[in-house]
Amino acid sequence: MLAETNPALGIFITNVLCSPKADDFSACESQYARGKFQAINGLGLTGVNIKAGGARIDPVTYKKR
């Protein structure tokens, strides 16, 4: 699942990237990284700080880089 945060609205789910009911769930899931990422550049975050050595994603497709 993909969720976004908004200071006024909180956390809300915007997309389901892989369905656990799909036959190819494992293959789909392996394309993505779990975590919290900056929307602008895809850098992994710890709280509000950039995570040293953390995963990076493509902010358009949400897939691992």
- pTM value? 0.81
* Number of separate domains in the chain: 1
Which pLDDT value is given to residue 41? Answer: 96
Give, for all 65 residues of the chain, the pLDDT tens digit.
899 888 898 999 999 999 999 999 999 999 999 999 999 999 999 988 999 999 999 999 999 99
Which pLDDT value is given to residue 6? Answer: 86
In a domain, 40, yes or no: yes
In a domain, 63, yes or no: no
Which pLDDT value is given to residue 43? Answer: 97
Domain residue limits at 20 = 2-50
Which is it for the CA torsion 54, 58, 63, 65, positive or negative?
A: negative
Q: Is 43 exposed, middle or buried (0-12, 13-18, 19+ CB in 10 A)?
A: middle
Pairing relation of β-strands 36-37 and 44-46?
A: antiparallel
In a domain, 61, yes or no: no
